[in-house]
Homo-oligomer: A and B are copies of this chain.
Amino acid sequence: MCPSPRDASDPQLQEAMDAARAAVDATMDRLLPPANGGMAEDKLCAAMRHGVLAGGKRLRAFLTLECAHLFGVDASRARRAAAAVEFVHCYALIHDDLPAMDDSALRRGQPAVHRAFGEATAILAGDALLTLAFEVIADPDTHEDPRVRCALVTALAQAAGAHGMVGGQMLDLLGEHTAFDLGTISRMQRMKTGKLMAFACEAGAILGRASLPHRRALAHYAFDLGLAFQVTDDILDVEANEEEAGKPVGADAAAGKATFVSALGQAQARERAEMLAEQATTHLHIFGSRAEALERLARYVLERRA
């Protein structure tokens, strides 16, 4: 197979990310309810599977796996936590794409769940995925120590809830009607993208019973990485073509949404992304050379085309 254009930038990282994606995809496939169980709710399960398994970079899953690896966590446990993070991310995308929200027809180059299965089923599929995420991390297969499992449940709920991801989505919607300043855009993205990315990293640390300084270092890394990722996303929304992005582009501007590009302009936004990616790696010094993949990832999020 010919490498895609972005493979050229860091083939070693790309290979690690591809391996992580394949492993976590297999875990998710196993954890998702079958869609051919002959049950009346098969349609719901099919929608959940479509929303999760129809592509995706699995960046968050990669973060969980890499961070868990830093603390010697068993890979099968890390994959379960990574799957839970991706279930939450996918549920958020399904609800985000709904007509009442971003009204996006395409996701990852495929029809959005509500286009493929109808709006009501998409709402329910998102609900069921969020619920499944908590079921997966509370299971003894994720960790034998119930204190660790409870710590994961608490951290995930706080990352995903009203003062985390969902609150960030609320701000994102309000941004369509309000001229947000840069501080508010940053806070919105910290909540909308950063908190779940931070949980993705912290989950690895929690599974490995890491010390608080290690856990905090990874959370700070994730917040900077998440912002760098989001600034790049805003730039891509202006620059990329739809085929590369796998979703409609220019949608933010069309919706009048406050983005880093609208607040800073493209050139300054690019500079800020580079600064954030650089800053992200400084938090990793506590791990010496062991966190090399996470360092490379900070460069990757700047250079990605989708």
**A residues with CB within 8 A of B:** 33, 39-41, 43-45, 48, 91, 95, 98-101, 118-121, 123-124, 126-128, 130-132, 134-135, 138-139, 145-147, 149-150, 153-154, 156-158, 160-163, 166-167, 169-171, 173-174, 184, 187-188, 191
Contact = CB atoms under 8 A, between A and B. Distances in A.
Contact of A127 (B119, B120, B163, B166): B166
A64 to B, nearest CB: 19
A169 B100 CA distance: 20
Nearest to A122: B100
Given A131-B166, A146-B150, 9 more contacts: A43-B174, A126-B127, A127-B130, A128-B167, A134-B134, A134-B157, A135-B154, A135-B161, A146-B147
> So how many copies of this chain end up in the complex?
2
B48 A162 contact: yes
Nearest to A138: B153
Contact of A167 (B41, B123, B130): B41
Given A43-B170, A95-B127, A120-B173, A138 B150 contact: yes
Given A138-B154, A146-B146, A150-B150, A131 B170 contact: no
28 contacts: A33-B163, A40-B170, A40-B187, A41-B163, A44-B166, A95-B123, A95-B127, A98-B120, A100-B119, A101-B120, A121-B173, A126-B127, A127-B130, A130-B131, A131-B157, A131-B160, A131-B161, A132-B161, A134-B134, A134-B153, A135-B153, A135-B154, A138-B150, A139-B154, A145-B146, A146-B147, A146-B149, A153-B153
B128 A162 contact: yes
Given A127-B166, A162-B33, A40 B174 contact: yes
Contact of A158 (B135, B160, B167): B135
A41 B135 contact: no
B124 A170 contact: yes
A138 B169 CA distance: 24
A95 B231 CA distance: 32
Nearest to A176: B120
Contact of A161 (B119, B126, B128, B162): B128
